[in-house]
Amino acid sequence: MEIWLRNDAYNVRFPVLPAEYTISSSSNNTSVHVTALSEVTLLGDRNLQEISFETFIPKIYDATFCDCVPQYSPTEFASILEQMKRSGVCRLTMSGVFAGQVTIETLDTNENDGTGDVNISLSLKEYIKPVVTKVSTRVISEARTAKAGAGASKTYTVKSGDNLSKIAQSQTGKAGNWRTIYSDNQGTIGSNPNLIKPGQQLKIRASY
């Protein structure tokens, strides 16, 4: 296995593999009790994975425990990790185990007396960039126009030979809507829905 940590400024490989590592992951599942079904688990979204391990950066290369020749001195390596922690998102690759973007949550370093080696304890957390959908102002404007149009009404001018049923059929597709048309225009038509006159302006709803 190889362990690499990268960002725009650095690309470092850990020269000594950790004796062990931990990758934890959980889900936002909820258990509920349903009558006749006992306990039921409702599946939720997966939480971000957390990775932690401990290793050390040797001052002197030793092939018996080093996976590769150290790129930097122990103190330089620790300093680079601190800079990567402050810079934000990095990419962690643990070959065959994990590959993805992470943030360094905690970084603890200390130097072994007399050896010059630096012990490193790392805790990292998976990072997933939020996805934001951008809606153009044109789409918003069209949606608002359509909404406004849905609630608008039109005007119909009564012609000779018209009656409310005929107007309802031609303007709304349903003759039975004449009652609504009459109710909306009673002030214009008067008390008798059968007496409409050519030239009268009737309000017709956009939808029925």
Domains and CATH numbers, the chain: 3-29+45-126 (2.40.30), 153-205 (3.10.350.10)
Query: Residue 14: is its pLDDT beyond 90?
Result: yes
Whole-angstrom distance, CA of residue 85 vs CA of residue 105: 7
What local confidence, expressed as pLDDT, does residue 159 receive? Answer: 94
pLDDT tens per residue across span 61-71: 888 889 898 88
- Strand order across the beta sheet in which 21-24 lies: 11-13, 3-6, 89-94, 98-111, 118-126, 50-57, 21-24
For 65, how many CA atoms within 13 A lie in the half-sphere containing its CB? 9
Cα separation, 128 vs 101, whole angstroms: 7
Mean confidence (pLDDT) of the chain: 84
82: CB partners within 8 A, 6+ apart? 107, 109
* 25 pLDDT higher than 90: no
For residue 165, what are its two tokens? 């049923």
Q: pLDDT tens, 27-63?
A: 655 555 455 545 555 555 667 888 999 999 999 888 8
pLDDT interval class at 7 (50, 70, 90): very high
Q: Distance between CA 165 and CA 168 in Å, rounded?
A: 5
Position 134 pLDDT exceeds 80: no
Separation between Cα atoms, residue 45 and residue 30, nearest integer Å: 11
The number of beta carbons lying within 10 Å of the beta carbon of residue 15 is 22
pTM (2 d.p.): 0.55
Rounded distance between C-alpha atoms, residue 116 and residue 48, angstroms: 36
Strand (E) or helix (H) holding 75? helix 74-87
- Nearest CA among 76, 58, 74, 75 for reference residue 66: 58
Q: Residue 96's pLDDT is what?
A: 87
Q: What φ, ψ does residue 48 adopt, rounded to 5°?
A: -65, 140
pLDDT at residue 77 greater than cutoff 90:
yes
